[in-house]
Amino acid sequence: MNEGEILRLAQEGVKTILMASAPMLGFGLIVGLLVSIFQATTQIQEATLAFIPKIVAVLVSFIFFGPWILKLVLEFTQNLLMNLNLYIQ
């Protein structure tokens, strides 16, 4: 296994991590922005109002995108193990 293959595997790992976390981060960002706009317009500065909707949005997005994330991680793991198996034999 040379340096190029190791860098390719590392690049695939980073890409997989970013793709797996993107739905939850995106939903958290959108809900956080909406809550911030709501707090600014109503002048309600409650700390729990900022966190609870974001937590719920992240959990809902995880439930919705969970099968896709699992498939993505399993494909990466299978690819990694297949590449390692080629060099062990």
Domain count, the chain: 1
Q: Which residues of 47-61 are buried (b: 16+ CB within 10 A; e: fewer)?
A: eeeeeebbeebbeeb
Residue among 33, 35, 34, 28 nearest 54 (CA): 28
Under a CB-based contact definition with an 8 Å cutoff, are residues 16 and 73 in contact?
yes
Residue 77: domain span: 3-88
State pTM to two decimals. Answer: 0.79
pLDDT tens per residue across span 14-71: 999 999 999 999 999 999 999 999 988 998 888 788 889 999 999 999 999 999 999 9
